[in-house]
Amino acid sequence: ERFSALGPLALLPLPGEYRRSVVWPVKKGTEAEWLGEENDQHFLNALQQTYGDRAGKFEKTGKRFSYPLSQVLAHKQAVGRVVLMGNAAHTIHPVAGQGFNLCLRDADVLVRFLMEQLAKSDDIGAPENLLAYEQSRLKDQQRVIKFCDSVVRGFSNQNPILKLLRNTGLIAFDVIPGVKPLVANYAMGLKA
Ligand SMILES: Cc1cc2nc3c(=O)[nH]c(=O)nc-3n(C[C@H](O)[C@H](O)[C@H](O)COP(=O)(O)OP(=O)(O)OC[C@H]3O[C@@H](n4cnc5c(N)ncnc54)[C@H](O)[C@@H]3O)c2cc1C
């Protein structure tokens, strides 16, 4: 992932040695918004210039498409005997790749709540049980939402002091032993 002036640019692995998926969130109304519609060579040049050479030379592009990204948070995730999960409960910015991980943790906790009810031969759809599930997930969900929001804000701000601070932070992240696993654990929800 590259944090460019145009927006965070991520390359994700696809099957096949050299194929990658490109995710490039850009601000509405900026020049970059049009990159998706420009001709292939223009796009490849912009991609190469922004990403640099670390992933090699970008030679071909497939069909590109764009859609608006917006944070959507349900006011309630458990009502009566119904539970909202996944993106229906919380759609967050993909900048830190946290959305699906969060959904998995929600699912894991819900299963535990249902298993406890089953073990007691109680009604698994009992509204108070589902409400208790919702309550137990709010802290982790809010932590992830704040984290993604602060990454988006922190990395899109072009203030020179902030730029210096975040570049120093990224170098520290790369070279100081122990920092990467710490951040990875935080992102996986292992240390809240
Ligand atoms: C660009 C991008 C990169 C991401 N990268 C990561 C990552 O690296 N790591 C990570 O953890 N998360 C990532 N996420 C987040 C992750 O994709 C979502 O958290 C996850 O897909 C949510 O799963 P879901 O099943 O709730 O919703 P979705 O995956 O959105 O599935 C909902 C499905 O319902 C269908 N649907 C919608 N409305 C209807 C309807 N009325 N009738 C029938 N079907 C309907 C949709 O077509 C879709 O197939 C990323 C998201 C984006 C946008």
Name the 3-class secondary structure at 110. Answer: helix
Alpha helices in 70-159 (DSSP H): 99-119, 127-156
* Cα distance between residue 36 and residue 43, in whole Å: 7
Tell me the pLDDT band of 191, cut-offs 50, 70 and 90. low
14 with 32, same domain: the answer is: yes
**Structural domain of residue 89, as residue ranges?**
72-149
- Domain containing 119 — which CATH number? 3.50.50.60
93 with 128, same domain: the answer is: yes
* Cα distance between residue 81 and residue 125, in whole Å: 5
44 with 24, same domain: the answer is: yes
Overall number of domains in the chain: 3
Q: Is the pLDDT of residue 130 over 70?
A: yes
CA of 98 to the centre of ligand 1 (A): 12
Ligand 1 contact, 100 CB (< 6 A): yes
Tell whether 168 is covered by a domain. yes
What's the confidence (pLDDT) of residue 141?
Answer: 95
- Read off the pLDDT of residues 29-77 as tens digits, 9 standing for 90 and up: 777 777 777 788 999 999 999 999 989 999 999 988 888 888 899 999 9
Nearest CA to ligand 1 atom 9: 97
Ligand 1 contact, 22 CB (< 6 A): no
157 class by beta-carbon count within 10 Å (0-12 exposed, 13-18 middle, 19+ buried): exposed
Tell whether 66 is covered by a domain. no
User: 26: how many CB neighbours lie within 10 A of its CB?
Assistant: 20
Percent of the chain whose predicted confidence (pLDDT) is above 90: 51
